[in-house]
Amino acid sequence: LMSEKNLHERHTTGEEDEEIDPLLNQQGCGKVYAKLENCLAETDRDFAKCQPEIKALQACYLAANKGKTTS
């Protein structure tokens, strides 16, 4: 899962969601990610105010990848 810093950097550097969105949708986490994006937009990218959304995305990602091994 992307760290909060990496997610913040991704958006402040203008990187597009083209690469991450298909992956999140494939894992079933696209709607959870959209909620996080909405929260960040509404709070001027204040990660402290979006902790429930961040935790929900982390839980979704971990559940989607449970049992998978990483190299």
Spell out the residues 6+ positions from residue 4 whose beta carbon is closer than 8 angstroms to its own: 47, 54
Quickly state the pLDDT bin for 67 (edges 50, 70, 90): confident
Residue 5: what pLDDT? 53
Residue 20: what pLDDT? 73
5-56 confidence digits (pLDDT tens): 555 555 544 445 567 778 888 889 999 999 999 999 999 999 999 999 999 9
Spell out the residues 6+ positions from residue 22 whose beta carbon is closer than 8 angstroms to its own: none
User: Using a CB cutoff of 8 Å and minimum separation of 24, what contacts does 42-46 make?
Assistant: 45/8, 45/11, 45/12
Helix ranges, 1-71 (H): 4-12, 20-27, 30-42, 51-64
Quickly state the pLDDT bin for 60 (edges 50, 70, 90): very high
